[in-house]
Copies of this chain bind each other. A is one copy, B any other.
Amino acid sequence: MLVDTGLCDRAAHVCHHRRSENGCVDCKVRLISVCSVLALPELEQLEALSQHLSLDKGQALFGQGETASSVFNVIEGALRLTRLLPDGRRQVMGFALPGDFLGLALQERYSVSAEALGPVKTCRFARHDFAAMVEAKPHLLRSLHERAGYELSLAQDQMLLLGRRTAEEKVAAFLLSLRDRFARAGHSSITVELPMGRQDMADYLGLTMETVSRMLTRLDRAHAILLVPGGARLLDPAKLERLAAS
């Protein structure tokens, strides 16, 4: 698609050190990220503030309670967003996928911890710089606010799930919601990738690892899904919807 893709591949290191491929214009997630509301000149302005940051599996991007010095756009890979109880019990608040923006509330401190589930590429901005840009561009703030509203709605879905659904319903609903999220990002497929482990799913759904495993095999045996390494094939989405009670 682009002219210097070849060049970029050869000089991959330098390129990644600067910006995505040849800059924001060519960014894989531009059209599904907050950047999509920016015009070209604004995009260049943003690019000047950006900086690429890669993480390996398990690395933390930031921790709950830390001063929020940066905000991030996820370009590639997935992260889990978690909160901890003092005694170590963990709740996964969500999973960040390509196109997601981390720190959109622009608050002083991170309200969750973010850890890479696998290799991750992000676009980093100093919060101060980004906030200044937001201040100068109300439509960017508007876009951020829209996203915040969407996040709030997702959080409400999750509260309903955590409070009022059974284990089987939780797992079924989780698979469907993941499918929908991938579809929104332009990745429609009958096979849902599960970049997170069973424990992460459990901590997301308010269950134990064992129960998640049991429910997945139950759905498998009911021919609603087919478990494959690193994912699940949704054989019977209609049945899944019924089981999810949504």
Q: Is the CB of B148 within 8 A of A91?
A: no
Q: Is the CB of A111 within 8 A of B148?
A: no
Among B142, B145, B156, B158, contact of A112 (Cβ-Cβ < 8 Å): B156
A10 beta carbon closer than 8 Å to chain B: no
Q: Is the CB of A91 within 8 A of B160?
A: yes
- A83 CB contacts on chain B under 8 angstroms: 156, 159-160
Q: Is the CB of A246 within 8 A of B86?
A: yes
A138 beta carbon closer than 8 Å to chain B: yes
Q: Is the CB of A206 within 8 A of B151?
A: no
Among B105, B106, B135, B162, contact of A153 (Cβ-Cβ < 8 Å): B105
Q: Is the CB of B159 within 8 A of A107?
A: no
A123 beta carbon closer than 8 Å to chain B: no
Among B93, B138, B165, B203, contact of A156 (Cβ-Cβ < 8 Å): B93
A4 beta carbon closer than 8 Å to chain B: no
Q: Is the CB of B105 within 8 A of A149?
A: yes
Among B105, B146, B206, contact of A152 (Cβ-Cβ < 8 Å): B105
Residue of B whose beta carbon sits closest to that of A163: B206
Q: Number of contacting residues on A, CB 8 A?
A: 41
Q: Is the CB of A245 within 8 A of B87?
A: yes
Residue of B whose beta carbon sits closest to that of A169: B85
Residues of A within 8 A of B (CB): 83, 85-87, 89-91, 93, 104-107, 111-112, 135, 138, 141-142, 144-146, 148-153, 155-156, 158-160, 162-165, 203, 205-206, 245-246
Given contacts A155-B155, A155-B159, A158-B159, 11 further A-B contacts (CB under 8 A): A87-B245, A105-B150, A107-B153, A111-B152, A111-B156, A112-B156, A135-B138, A145-B148, A152-B152, A159-B162, A162-B163
Q: Which 6 A-B pairs have the closest CB atoms?
A: A105-B149, A163-B206, A162-B162, A155-B155, A148-B148, A91-B160
| A-B pairs with beta carbons under 8 Å apart, 16 shown | A83-B159, A91-B159, A93-B159, A105-B146, A105-B148, A105-B150, A105-B153, A138-B141, A141-B141, A145-B145, A148-B149, A148-B152, A155-B155, A159-B159, A162-B162, A163-B203
